[in-house]
Amino acid sequence: MLVKLSTKQARKRRAKDLFGEIGIPRKLLNINNTYKTAKGLDLDVSTAILYLAPYDESGVNLCPKASKGCARSCLYTAGHGSMDVVERARLSKTHYYLRKKAAFMLHLEKDIAAFRRNAKRRGLVPCVRLNGTSDIHWERKGFVGADGQWYESMMHRFPDLQFYDYTKFTPEERPGVAELDNYHVTFSRAEDNHDRAMQALDGGWNVAVVFRKHLPETWQGVPVLDGDVSDVRFYDKPGHVVGLKAKGQARKDTSGFVVDGGER
Ligand code: SF4
């Protein structure tokens, strides 16, 4: 596993060096290659996910609302363990995104278009999650597409394609999401954002909660659905808590990020 560097500058330099070493990644998206996204195939859904370096691992914090508990649990540990090839690719992609944004967005547009074509050819419903390990307001990331047109976001560029994400921002903090029919967002509860989670529920978003072992039937009086059945969040019934079982480092969490069934 890569060593966590102590200063932002050192982490930025490492991301830059890795980008120089690895070069422009051939593909930005991971397609159906996690246990949960592969389960989407059972529902005839094909899933593409963009994984950047979470939290401040690249020297730039891509998760401004992250809690200590979620950052600790997330940093490269849920599923990929010490595969530092994964970490290196995420850091290099993050440098690409941060420092060469116009080229990155064009590349992303191309990869999404190819993914969509391929999924449709196979008779699958394509969907894209851009915040695999980040919390970026993608609905506000405008770019000039390959056709020379300005698009307000990838969601505007591909209006017939379903996008989805998890976020720690509330509906009020991401008002652009409500204007998009093709962007589904689930709020992600942590040990320090209980009131915000309640606001998200009030605002009509589902809330994802990580439970230690068993999923309760309700949390805070709200029915819990099993979010591990697949990652196809946009098929979830509204007005629900999305229960996730702790995985990887999260199993050892003591911060309150992971809750025992029925707890706050
Ligand atoms: S859990 Fe989400 S907000 Fe927290 S560090 Fe990971 S990607 Fe960022």
CB–CB of 204/225 below 8 Å? no
Closest CA to 186 of 125, 231, 127: 231
Along the 264 residues of the chain, how does pLDDT read in single tens digits?
556 677 899 999 988 988 888 888 899 999 999 888 999 999 999 999 999 999 999 999 999 999 998 898 877 554 444 447 888 899 999 999 999 999 999 999 999 999 999 999 999 999 999 999 999 999 999 999 999 999 999 999 999 999 999 999 999 999 999 999 999 999 999 999 999 999 999 999 999 999 998 899 999 999 999 999 999 999 999 999 999 999 887 888 888 999 986 555
Q: How far is the CA of 71 from the centre of ligand 1 (A)?
A: 6
Residue 70 maps to a domain? yes
Structure tokens at 115: 């993914």
Concatenating the DSSP letter of every residue in 69-134 gives: HHHHHHTT-TTTTT-HHHHHHHHHHHHHHHHSHHHHHHHHHHHHHHHHHHHHHTT-EEEEES-SS-
Residue 65 maps to a domain? yes
Q: Residue 56 belongs to what domain range?
A: 8-259
Confidence at residue 144, expressed as pLDDT on a 0 to 100 scale: 97
Q: Whose CA is nearest to atom 5 of ligand 1?
A: 71
Q: Which atom of ligand 1 is nearest to the CA of 131?
A: 7
**pLDDT digit string, tens, across residues 52-74:** 999 999 999 999 999 998 898 87
Structurally, the chain folds into a number of domains equal to 1
Residue 125 maps to a domain? yes
Q: State how far the Cα of 63 lies from the Cα of 134, in Å rounded to an integer.
A: 5
Residue with tokens 């998200």, as numbered in its chain: 200
Residue 3 maps to a domain? no
pTM of the complete model: 0.93
Is 210's C-beta closer than 6 angstroms to any atom of ligand 1?
no
Residue 264 maps to a domain? no
Residue 2 maps to a domain? no
Concatenating the DSSP letter of every residue in 3-50 gives: PPPSSHHHHHHHHHHHHHHH-S-S--EEES-SHHHHHHGGGTEEEEEE
Residue 126 maps to a domain? yes
Residue 102 maps to a domain? yes
Q: State how far the Cα of 126 lies from the Cα of 119, in Å rounded to an integer.
A: 6
